[in-house]
Structure formats: structure tokens, C-alpha cells
Amino acid sequence: MRQGKWAAIAIIALASWGVGMPSARASDVNGTWKIKDVVLDIFDCHSSVCGKIVWAHDPRRRPEVCGRTIVWGLTPSGPSTWTGGSIYDPDDNATYNLSASLETNGTMEARIYRGIPLFGKTEVLSRIQPRSLDGWC
């Protein structure tokens, strides 16, 4: 009986830690994030992470970019990491590969690249309060 009790506790503990499954979830990064001169609403979509523009610094660009989904396909790959995504850059009309990680300081690092991540660039996103900036989409 005692051995059965410990086995049950071990099974419950392993299940709650998600052993064998990546522990990153889309909901870990759901929210409103600022990157450079735009703000993205990051959300769950089709078992992955997507993001759409909800604010742009330049009011003249808002009609063109507001509401546009520019991030898609990020899937969990480990603790607080996502890979396999794409990001569309409306400035150069190009689509790039994307991976992301949630950092301990509360920021998100996005690795944007073509082909090999080593030759890409890293952008840092910061959480902000929804509708906290003038000119929300």
C-alpha cells in the first residue's frame, strides 16, 4: 500500500509538471506587448501564438497596419520558449522566421531571421497595459 501511495504521488507530480511535453504555453505570453514603434496583441490561435498590431506610433500608418496579424505559427518548444513562427514586416513587405523566449525580467526576446537564427536580430518586447497609449486601433 505504501509503495502504491508514492507511485500515485509521483504520477500526479509528473503530470502536473508536464514531463515529456514542452512546458511553454501560448497563454504564458498572451497580452499586450510593445516592440519599437508598434504594439502587438499576442494571443492563442490554432494551438500556436499569433500577434496583431493594435497600436502604431505614426498615426498616418494606423489605417494601413492596425488589426493586421503579423505574427503566426509560434509553437511551444520548451520552458518559456517558442519556435517555428513567422513575422511579417510591413516596412519592407517581407516575412521572416521567428522564435521567442519569455525572460525572467518579464520581457520577451524575439529572434527574427531568414534561414539561420545566428544571422538574424533579436528584438525585445515589453508588456504594457492595453489601451494605455493614445491612438489605439
Domain ranges of the chain: 22-127
Cell numbers describing residue 44? 492563442
- Return the pLDDT at 20: 38
pLDDT per residue as tens digits for the range 7-63:
333 333 323 233 333 445 556 899 999 999 999 999 999 889 999 999 999 999 999
- Is the Cβ–Cβ distance between 112 and 87 less than 8 Å? yes
pLDDT per residue as tens digits for the range 70-85:
999 999 999 899 999 9
CATH of domain 22-127: 2.40.128.520
Question: Taking the model in full, what pTM does it have?
Answer: 0.79
- Return the pLDDT at 17: 32
| Cα–Cα distances in angstroms (integers) from residue 11 to residues 19, 23, 33, 83, 106, in the given order | 10, 17, 37, 29, 31
